[in-house]
Amino acid sequence: MSTTVYTRYELLRAARNTRFFTFTLAFPVVMFFLIAAPNRDQQLDGIPFALYYMTGMICWGAMAAVIAGGARIAAERSLGWQRQLRVTPLPVRTYFRAKVLTGYLTAALTIALMYLAGTSVGVRMPAGDWVKLTVLVLIGLIPFAVLGILLGHLLTVDSMGPALGGLTALFALVGGAWGPIVSTGFLRRLTEGVPSYWLVQAGKSVTTGDGWPATAWIVLAVWTLVLGVLAVRVYQRDTART
Amino acid sequence: MRTLDQAPPITGIRLVGLTKSYGAVQAVRGVDISVAAGETVALLGPNGAGKSTTIDMLLGLTRPDEGRVELFGMPPSDAIAAGAVGVMLQTGGLIRDLSVRELITMMAALYAEPLGVDEVLDVTGLGDIADRRTQKLSGGEAQRTRFALALVSNPELLVLDEPTVALDVQSRHDFWAAMRGFAARGKTVVFATHYLEEADAYADRVVLMSLGRVVADGPPTEIKARVGRRLIRATLAEADLADLAGLPGVVAVDRHGQTVELRCTDSDAAVRALLAAYPGARNLEIQGAGLEEAFLELTVNGDRSPERGPR
C-alpha cells in the first residue's frame, strides 16, 4: 500500500483548483504592494514598515491556506466521499496528513512569494533570520491547520466560503496583520492571546531578539490543544457508527 | 436452507442476530445470514426492508444494537484494513479535479494487490473517458467509475448497495456482465437490489428481506418454489368454478370469458385432474410464478410467516 501516491494525487487536486490558488496567493501580494511599498521608509511597531507588512501578509495568506487545507474536508463529507474512504484501508491519519500537507504547501508558496515581494521593496535580514522567520511561521500555522480540520467537520460547503473569509480576516485583523490595532495596555495584552498575533510578530521577534517569548509558545500550544480536542470530538461525532 | 450449524467450510460473511433501531424505528430485527466464499448473493427487498442498514453493519459503518459480524473470520474493520473488501455504497459522489484514470490510480494505491488500472478501465467500459475529469461525468459514468473504484482493490468480497440505480438499460447490462466476470474469479459478491429481475438473473442465492427480517433465503428457483404457486390457464366453456376449485392442488379459481385460471400449489396434480374431469379443456398454459410474484407473496406475509429465514 502506498499512501505516497494517495497524497500526491491529493496535492495534484489542490493545485488544479486554480481559482482558490490564485486568490490565496495573489491577495496578500497585491495588498503588500499597495500598502507597504509607498511606506517602505517608515517604521511600524518598532521595525521597518516593509518587514512588518511582509510578515503581516504572510500571516493572512498562509493562515488562509492552511485553514482551507482542512476545510476541503467539508466538501468530501457532503459528497459522501469520507464514508467511501472509511471502507478502504486508508488510515485516518494519512487522510488528515494529506489535508494538512496540502495547506502547508500552499502556505509555503505564499511565504516564498511574500519573501520575494518583501526583498523587492528593501526587506533585508541575515540569512539566519530568514530561516528563523520561516521556522516560526511554519510553527505558528499549526493551530490554524487544526482549525481547518475542525471547520471541515463542523461546517457545510455552503457556509465554508463566508466562514473562511470572515475568520481569516478576523484573525489577521486582531493579530495586527494590517498594523497593530492597539499599541499598548490591556487590549494589546488581549491580542497577545490570539495565535495570529504571534505569526505577525514573528518578523519582529527574529530581528529584535532570538524568537518568540515564552508567552507565544504557550498561546500557540493552548490554541492547538483546545482546537485539537474539539476537532477530535467533532470528527468522532461525525463518523460515529450510529 | 442453509443454517448456521451447517455453515459452509469457508465462510465469507457471517451475520449473527443483527438488530438495529433508529429511535422508535426498528430498521433491522434479527438478521442471520451466512455467505460462503465465492457465492453471489442478492439482498432483495423493497425500500425500507433494512437492506442498506444490514450492509452498513456488514461493513462496520454502523454498529449493530445486537449481534455480530464476521468477514472471513475477522471483524469488518480488520477485513477492510486488510484490503479484502471492495465497496460501492448506495450514495456518494466522486472527488473533483482528477481524471477517471487518476482517481482509480489513487485508490488502487491503497491496496496491496490491486488490479491493473487499464484492466479495470476496460472491464467497466471507462476506457474512452479515462482522461475526463470526474466533475464532468454523467450520472451513469460516475456510477461506473464508482464500480471501478470498488473493483480495482481486487477484493475477496465485493459489496454493492443498489449498484444500478442510475444506469440505463445498456449500462446495466454491461455492469452485470462485469460483475459476473469478477464473481467468476471465485470472489464473493453481495449486492442489494430492489430489482427482482436482477436478483433472479445474477445471484446464486437470494436473501429476501422485509421489514427488517429475512423472510426467505435460497436459490431464486427455490424462492419461487417456496411460494409454489403456478397458474394454469385453459379454455373451458362449461365448468362450475366451485368444482374446479375442488380439484387437487388448486387453491383459487377465476374465469375470464371462456378462459379459466387455476392458481395451484401442485400444478402437476391439478393438470392431471383437470384433464381427467374435463377432457374438453383446450389451450392449456402453465405459468411459473415470477420472482415478482414470489416477492409480493413473501413480503406481504413476512411479518406473520413462520418462515423467517435461517435460525
Q: Hey, which bits of chain A come out as E strands?
A: 43-44, 47-48
Of A4, A5, A83, the CB nearest to B92: A83
Closest residue by Cα to residue B55 from B127, B141, B162, B148: B162
How many beta-carbon contacts under 8 Å exist across A and B? 82
Of B92, B94, B106, the CB nearest to A9: B106
The phi-psi region of residue B179 (left if phi > 0; otherwise alpha if psi is between -120 and 50; otherwise beta) is alpha
Count of domains for chain A = 1
pLDDT band (50, 70, 90) for residue B301: low
pLDDT band (50, 70, 90) for residue B69: very high
Residue A18 forms contact with B (CB below 8 Å): no
CB contact under 8 A, B61 and A6: no
Residue B94 forms contact with A (CB below 8 Å): yes
Q: Domains in chain B, ordered, with CATH? A: 4-84+155-225 (3.40.50.300), 229-288 (3.30.70)
Total-model pTM: 0.82
Distances (CA, A) of A227 to A64, A68, A136, A148, A221: 16, 15, 19, 10, 10
Res B302: pLDDT? 45
SS3 sequence of A183-237: CCHHHHHHHCCCHHHHHHHHHHHHHHCCCCCHHHHHHHHHHHHHHHHHHHHHHHH
Res B202: pLDDT? 92
Say if CB B52 and CB B90 are below 8 A apart.
yes
Give residue A36's domain range: 3-238
Asked if the model's pLDDT at residue B310 lies above 70, the reply is no
pLDDT, averaged across chain B: 86
**What is the pLDDT averaged over residues A152-173?**
93
A208 vs B300 pLDDT, higher one: A208
- Report the share of chain B in percent with pLDDT over 90: 55
pLDDT band (50, 70, 90) for residue B199: confident
Residue A19 forms contact with B (CB below 8 Å): no
Closest residue by Cα to residue B95 from A155, A10, A162: A10
pLDDT band (50, 70, 90) for residue B217: very high
Residue B123 forms contact with A (CB below 8 Å): no
Res A242: pLDDT? 64
